[in-house]
Amino acid sequence: MNNHEIDYKLYGDDMQFVEVELDPQETVIAEAGSLMMMDDQIEMETIFGDGTASQGGIMGKLLGAGKRVITGESLFMTTFTNQGSGKKHVSFASPYPGKIIPMDLSEIEGKLICQKDAFLAAAKGVAVGVEFQRKVGAGFFGGEGFIMQKLEGDGMAFVHAGGTIHKKVLEPGEKLKVDTGCLVAMTGSVDYDIEYIGGIKTALFGGEGLFFATLSGPGTVWVQSLPFSRLASRIFAAAPERGGSKGEGSVAGGLFDLLGGDRK
């Protein structure tokens, strides 16, 4: 085992958080801003990249951090290490309603490819990198499908997704077409591409995106029913104009306040 062996427990249903149990000197890495709570004697440190041995030297660390910038993530990650003598706990929460999916990388051949904003936390030693879609032209226009994160190692990792999560096992040669925003993660054996939907009427009036992800087995795919981008667009579309009616007790009025509106 190259990764720290951590235990965990999930809490909640649609607004989940994961509690990680650390033995003395065990460490978990997490996205900046994902911490919910932690016990005393857990030391928190901000680092470049993911802190893996493969990033040895300042240039390696800068390269790892630079890759994270490409995916739209922060330059920094945070480590949480148990400096006490007994077991300690640290908890991480999802940034929006949905599920947290625990992934044992040793059971999926050591590699998971996931959406760039899906990674939440992992045992120290898990490498967090970038997976580029091979067809660069399609990728630039394919939204979420072009740049994805790559998690490698043999430890536990946690990814989050919106709405209900569906796990689908693809047989060799079996294909699945998925909205690029609904694709959460897939094992490294899945072959994927970004394809244009085609047809000007479909593109303009179909109500869907212009591209979808085509996934080919063998391998396992995780799909989410409610991408955050879709949720956010519906909320903003339903928000009232500043001059419109904003009743004190109305749901619309509450959304208006939530999105930064001011009442006159």
User: Could you give the CA distance from residue 127 to residue 53 in angstroms, rounded to a whole number?
Assistant: 9
DSSP codes of every residue in 202-259: HHHHSSS-SEEEEEESSEEEEEESS-HHHHHHHHHHHSPPTTS---TT-HHHHHHHHT
Q: Say which amino acid occupies 125.
A: G
How far is the C-alpha of 110 from the C-alpha of 127, rounded, in Å? 10
What token pair was written down for 178? Answer: 């998925």
Strand-pair category, 42-48 with 76-82: antiparallel
Residue among 156, 264, 170 at smallest CA distance from 217: 170
First-last CA distance in the chain: 61
- The position carrying tokens 């080919």 is 216
Which two structure tokens, joined as six digits, stand for 99? 């599920």
Coil, helix or strand at residue 34: coil
How do residues 185-208 score in pLDDT, each as one tens digit? Answer: 999 999 988 777 665 555 555 444
Token pair in block for residue 75: 């330059």
- Residue 255, classified by CB atoms within 10 Å of its CB into exposed (0-12), middle (13-18) or buried (19+), is middle
User: Is 193 buried (19+), middle (13-18) or exposed (0-12) by CB count in 10 A?
Assistant: middle
Q: CA–CA separation, 139 vs 149, rounded Å?
A: 14
Position of tokens 């760039």? 116
Which helix (H) or strand (E) segment is 130 a member of?
Answer: strand 127-132
Cα–Cα distances (Å) from 263 to 76, 232, 241, 243, 253, in that order, read: 38, 22, 12, 10, 9
pTM of the model: 0.76
Alpha-carbon distance of 42 to 220, in angstroms, equals: 35
Query: How does pLDDT run across 209-226, given as a tens digit for each residue?
Result: 567 788 999 999 999 988
Closest to 24 in 3D by CA, of 80, 86, 79 = 86
Instruction: Give the residue from 139, 91, 94 showing the smallest Cα distance to 118.
Output: 94
The pLDDT value given to residue 179: 85
Domains and CATH numbers, the chain: 7-162 (3.60.160.10), 235-264 (no CATH)
pLDDT at position 128, please?
Answer: 85
d(CA 181, CA 213): 9
Which of the residues in the chain have pLDDT under 50? 136-145, 206-208, 243, 245-249, 255, 264
* Per-residue tokens: 69: 């910038």
Percent of the chain at pLDDT > 90 equals 39
pLDDT at 56: 52
**What is the rounded CA–CA span in Å between residue 125 and residue 112?**
14
